[in-house]
Structure 1
Amino acid sequence: MKNLPPEALQQVASYFHVLAEPNRLRILNFLRQGERNVGELAQLCSCTAANISRHLLLMTQQGLVAREGRGTSVYYRIADPSVYALCDLVCDSIARQFERTSEHRQALLSRTGVSS
């Protein structure tokens, strides 16, 4: 982020904003397994097709996914695979934090003689 102009920082913030929604992260996970159409993603996410389409529009605008029309269907795939490296880095960090918190909680419980 060093020396980025304000316009670029706004783009970075928009990118992270798109990633800040759990259903979009779920969509990214499903697309990690291969391309899918809106109907398939809606079924997998237990959402309406309209809801999935709105999420995919935002993700397409940020360059995370690409779309390709085939007949009457549109298929989506990951356009920027580096998003997975970013998500994996964040998820690993959160998992470590969760583990430390859990260990800390266990230590406190054992000191007070309470079992979990």
Structure 2
Amino acid sequence: MTPEVLSSVADYFKVLSEPSRLQILCELRSGPKNVTEILEATGMGQANVSKHLKILAQAGIVSRQPKGVSVYYQIVDPACFELCEVVCNQLVERLQQQARQLEPLGGVYSGKSSGGVS
């Protein structure tokens, strides 16, 4: 891949690297919402939500559709959820591996050892 292509990939991941934007995307997963609905669902401030929606729209992840006096946002790039699922599955696997590695320590402080701290 060329440096330009890699830069575009990195930029896409940067958009998804912000927890507030992921929270907004999770709210939009169930369908289009206006800013007021997003504010109520996330508890975030209006300026913050507007800033993140602008970034998501510029990245082509959400679209903006005026309807009357409101503007509705909706997901146009569902691949973002596939990426999040891959990452979540990897995190779960890593935590399960760590838990398996720590299993031998389970009895050390449970009072089952002889002569330890109780």
Task: Give yes or no for TM over 0.5.
Answer: yes
Q: What is residue 114 of structure 2 aligned with on the other side?
A: none
Structure 2 unmatched ranges of 5 or more: 111-118
Q: Secondary structure at the residue paired with 2:106?
A: helix
- Taking only the aligned residue pairs, the percentage that are identical comes to 40
Which of these residues, 79, 84, 95, is aligned with residue 82 of structure 1? 79
Q: What is residue 91 of structure 1 aligned with on the other side?
A: 88
> For 1:38 and 1:103, how far apart are their aligned partners in 2?
44
> For 2:16 and 2:72, how far apart are their aligned partners in 1?
20
Q: What is residue 67 of structure 1 aligned with on the other side?
A: 64
**Alpha-carbon deviation of 1:109?**
3.2
Q: What is residue 50 of structure 1 aligned with on the other side?
A: 47
Q: What is residue 24 of structure 1 aligned with on the other side?
A: 21
Deviations 1:91-114 (A, max 9, x none): 11111111222232232233xx22
Whose helix proportion is higher, 1 or 2? 1
TM-score normalised by L of structure 2 = 0.86
How many pairs are equivalent?
110
Q: Secondary structure at the residue paired with 1:47?
A: coil
Alignment root-mean-square deviation, CA = 1.2
Rg: which structure is higher? 2
